[in-house]
């Protein structure tokens, strides 16, 4: 009986070693595959860096700018160095004029003559509609509220 138990322990141990070796070999194959993929990606990255460095060369940039109609400037002004450690004084800012409240213009009303937003073409645009053509003002529209007692 002792021989059977000892043989079973030896066989189980050998079987465990074989399974461990198979797992190790499988891991090595996977590692080798990942290393191959990594080397391919590194090569593609180097090719992309080379392409970018070729695109960044000054002669190519100047040639591309010239083909788009850009020209060399007559003079170049160098900007002075500004230290980031020294705070810059806050500029004085004055608020702009308040925006006028939005007004609605009915489509059937004629523009006011000579008032803000009046058209220089007599209030008629090119397509025959009446209203303010183009201008910087707004067409004045006055509505009076009606109340019932």
Q: How does pLDDT run across 97-145, given as a tens digit for each residue?
A: 888 888 877 666 555 555 444 444 444 444 444 444 444 444 444 555 5
The model carries a pTM of 0.39
pLDDT digit string, tens, across residues 16-72: 999 999 999 999 999 999 999 999 999 999 999 999 999 999 999 999 999 999 998
| E runs forming strands in the chain | none
Domain borders along the chain are 35-64
Are residues 123 and 130 in contact, defined by beta-carbon separation less than 8 angstroms? yes
How big is the chain, counted in residues? 149
């Amino acid at each position: 009986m002792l021989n059977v138990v000892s043989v079973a322990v030896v066989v189980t141990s050998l079987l465990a070693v074989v399974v461990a070796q198979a797992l190790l070999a499988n891991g090595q194959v996977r590692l080798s595959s990942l290393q191959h993929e990594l080397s391919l990606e590194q090569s593609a990255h180097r090719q992309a860096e080379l392409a970018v460095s070729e695109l960044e060369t000054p002669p190519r940039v100047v040639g591309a700018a010239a083909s788009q109609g850009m020209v060399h400037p007559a003079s170049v002004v160098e900007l002075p160095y500004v230290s980031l450690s020294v705070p810059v004084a806050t500029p004085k800012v004055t608020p702009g004029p308040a925006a006028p409240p939005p007004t609605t213009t009915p489509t059937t009303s004629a523009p006011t003559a000579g008032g803000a937003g009046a058209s220089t073409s007599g209030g008629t645009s090119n397509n025959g509609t009446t209203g303010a053509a183009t201008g910087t003002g707004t067409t004045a529209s006055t509505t009076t509220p009606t109340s019932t007692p």
